[in-house]
Structure 1
């Protein structure tokens, strides 16, 4: 496992789970509703990690509801099923930006929208065909 794989699998996926769990406790009606829409479907979301603009990793997050159940390394697949159809989103993010996420764990819990907005200029969202 290389450095980027370790960052994704050992730091960011567990971080996401802790944040989701904390938000579910703070807002017990919102996340279960979102989870219900996506639960039981084989949803996938992709991520391309870059370093100085060059691709250093591709990842596919396998989801059950809002929970990441597995991560495929070296594969970029995406298929997000929702009541209105299927989207195939993936994000492109610099490794240096991803490395900052753990420092803002409490901010993601306390102010998820404001903290997410802080990172939005550094994230490119694209869609597979």
Structure 2
């Protein structure tokens, strides 16, 4: 079984070492195994979970929701609850995407205005 050091887990997940420890302490991440000298060793499964947690966090999932997901993930009978949590989060992501599409349209509209003004200024100087 391949294992990874905390530094490798940090490099692959993009989380800081403090965040990894916090996630473990708060139950967001399952308890991480330790080697014979007491150092944390991360498995492929741990890294996959960290990648998924990064996805959830980057898409706006709250720490409380991450904690809930982490707790639910430790029990095989909670798949319906995990599904509901992820479906709710997907709705939130879709809402944010729609909001960003509106913002993007406004920014593009303003950029088009500036292009037009610069063209007019260039025509006036020619």
Q: TM-score, normalised by structure 2?
A: 0.30
Q: Larger relative CO (CA 8 A, sep 6+): 1 or 2?
A: 1
Larger helix proportion, structure 1 or 2? Answer: 2
Q: Greater Rg, structure 1 or structure 2?
A: 2
Larger strand proportion, structure 1 or 2? Answer: 1
Q: TM-score, normalised by structure 1?
A: 0.29
